[in-house]
Amino acid sequence: MSSKTTHTNLIKTEAKRLGFLSCGISKAAFLEKEAPRLENWLNNNMHGQMQYMENHFDKRLDPTKLVEGSKSVVSLLLNYFPSKTQKDITAPKLSKYAYGTDYHFVIKDKLKSLLQFIQEEIGEVEGRAFVDSAPVLDKAWAAKSGLGWIGKHSNLLTQQVGSFYFIAELIIDLELEYDTPVTDHCGTCTACIDACPTQAITEPYVVDGSKCISYVTIELKENIPTEFKGQLDDWMFGCDVCQDVCPWNRFSKPHNEPLFNPHPELLDMTKKDWEEITEDTFKKVFKKSAVKRTKFSGLTRNIKFLKD
């Protein structure tokens, strides 16, 4: 068995031990297919006010410009599908990924452990860990690494577990054995396109970010435009509609990461509780949550918009 095979097996076994759903590996190289797609998306202003998407165009497409001497992109998936959801079906809704501790912290710790393991077991390996916070095209790398295909809603999909998982990467200067992409299994299904409350999926595989409810409730910092009145489908933070209606998500299984479990009070909060939420309750319920990103003022802005 070659050292490349041995190292690849070691990394994948450790990733599983750390709780990752799956691990795929790609050669660190320029993403040729993604370049024109990203350029068109930006030129059509589908990123709305997410100005950061315009930055580091070359680094987004070429990991060797991001991590000097990099040879491999190790892509990892971590399940966040909850076993229970909000009880009051009339209450403003929260995207499932934001129920527990902010995934950035949870995954960063696991990635650091994986990198440390690689360095201890294999030797001098340099690299960096990425969790949705740097110019890395997560979904493109995960698809290239055979972890799934990018669906018509632009999320990564797998036949075994659907799409309720986070994607993260280690970009390292170690040559490994590389995986191959899987085929697209969306077929003629248009469930996500038909169900999107704001018609943000403008055509199969293209999402206008500036129309997406997740963008409107999280990224947009100013007042929500009146054209979204009655279109937010009661979402106060994020949106899961395109994933909820996807037939592949009937295979989603609850995660087993204790840190992703919600604050005890969260799922019990009624519509009235949300409409009367105080800053103290916000700080308590969302102490280490990704919801802090929108701040108390942002969340109450969203809840008020749904109510008015």
What is the distance between the alpha carbons of residues 194 and 184, in angstroms, rounded to a whole number?
19
What is the distance between the alpha carbons of residues 69 and 30, in angstroms, rounded to a whole number?
13
Catalytic annotation, residues? 132
Pairing of strands 201-203, 206-207: antiparallel
Q: With left for phi above 0 and alpha for psi between -120 and 50, is residue 269 left, alpha or beta? A: beta
Pairing of strands 72-79, 22-27: antiparallel
Taken as a whole, the chain contains a residue count of 308
CB distance 78 to 19 below 8 Å: yes
What is the distance between the alpha carbons of residues 157 and 268, in angstroms, rounded to a whole number?
30
